Amino acid sequence: AQSVTQLGSHVSVSEGALVLLRCNYSSSVPPYLFWYVQYPNQGLQLLLKYTSAATLVKGINGFEAEFKKSETSFHLTKPSAHMSDAAEYFCAVTRWGYGGSQGNLIFGKGTKLSVKP
Amino acid sequence: GAGVSQSPSNKVTEKGKDVELRCDPISGHTALYWYRQRLGQGLEFLIYFQGNSAPDKSGLPSDRFSAERTGESVSTLTIQRTQQEDSAVYLCASSSTSGSRETQYFGPGTRLLVL
């Protein structure tokens, strides 16, 4: 079975500071991993995804994440936070089962990012 | 083009009533997913449809929950005899196929409150 753990339900950074949101996964098969962002009262929007190509994945809005198999991690980073980055961020892994991909995503509990001026 | 749309955006109902939530996927997307987002509990998978295949219902929490999809078009999630614990945001997503690499595109959700 696959699972995702996001460390820290709430992270606060100052504008211009480094953003680091942590995600660790558990999977018995090579995982496909995703980061989604949810702005208040909106649906989820894909930031980036890892699908077994390059381990460093670049996404929208200056975010990137690095797949580290040895650490079972897929942490999300951004060098310099903007006020507009304040949102909730979800890490997810594709569910696999007998016969291959089951299609749906398994999500972490989310991390709320606050950005202080 | 248009994204995933859901209706209603908000629904308040009384305990014991039935509710129907609607999802219009992106045109041409064969895969459709329903998730539930309860406060402080992240997103939980409910059900997914892929083309004309039998839906994967493994995430439905009880037999009060059911969903239908007409071909590769709209889907309706029905909750019968609603309970207070059903209060949540119900999110629909669609993707071009059900492949595990595919990006799922989410609608804005329906916020359900059961009194």
Quote the minimal CA–CA distance from B49 to chain A in Å.
Answer: 9
Chain A interface includes B4 (CB < 8 A): yes
The residue of B38, B41, B100, B103 whose CB has the most chain A CBs within 10 angstroms, and thus the best one to mutate to test that interface, is B100
Residue A28: what pLDDT? 76
Residues B88, B37: Cα–Cα separation, whole Å: 6
Quick check: A107 and B42 CB within 8 A?
yes
Q: What is the distance between the alpha carbons of residues B88 and B86, in angstroms, rounded to a whole number?
A: 6
Beta carbons of B106 and A105 less than 8 Å apart? no
pLDDT at B65: 97
Dihedral (CA of A111, A113, B2, B8) sign = positive
Q: What backbone phi and psi angles, to 5 degrees, belong to A40?
A: -50, 130
Q: Phi then psi for B55, rounded to 5 degrees?
A: -70, 150
Ranges of H-type helices in B1-115: none
pLDDT of residue A96: 63
How confident is the prediction for chain A on average, in pLDDT? 90
Q: Is the pLDDT of residue A80 over 60?
A: yes
Set of chain A residues whose Cβ sits within 8 Å of the Cβ of B58: 102
Q: Do B43 and A51 touch (CB under 8 A)?
A: no
Confidence of residue A99 (pLDDT cuts 50, 70, 90): very low
Preceding omega of B8 cis (within 30 degrees of 0): yes
The confidence band for A98, taking pLDDT boundaries of 50, 70 and 90, is very low
In this predicted structure, what is the pLDDT of residue A2? Answer: 82
pLDDT at B98: 67
Q: What value does the mean pLDDT take over residues A79-93?
A: 96
pLDDT score for A109: 92
Residues 6+ apart with CB under 8 A from A83: A15, A115, A117
pLDDT band at A101 (very low <50, low <70, confident <90, very high): low
pLDDT for the residue A97: 54
Both tokens assigned to A21: 């949101």
B75 shares contact with chain A (CB less than 8 Å): no
A49 at interface of B, judged by CB pairs closer than 8 A: yes
- pLDDT confidence bin for A40, thresholds 50/70/90: confident
pLDDT band at A52 (very low <50, low <70, confident <90, very high): confident
Count Cβ–Cβ pairs < 8 Å, chain A vs chain B: 65
Give the per-residue pLDDT at A42: 82
Amino acid at A103: G
Q: What residues of chain B score a pLDDT lower than 50?
A: none
Residues 80-109 of B with CB under 8 A from A: 91, 93, 98-101, 103-109
Q: Give the integer Cα–Cα distance in Å for B56 and B90.
A: 17
C-alpha span between A68 and A47 (Å, rounded): 18
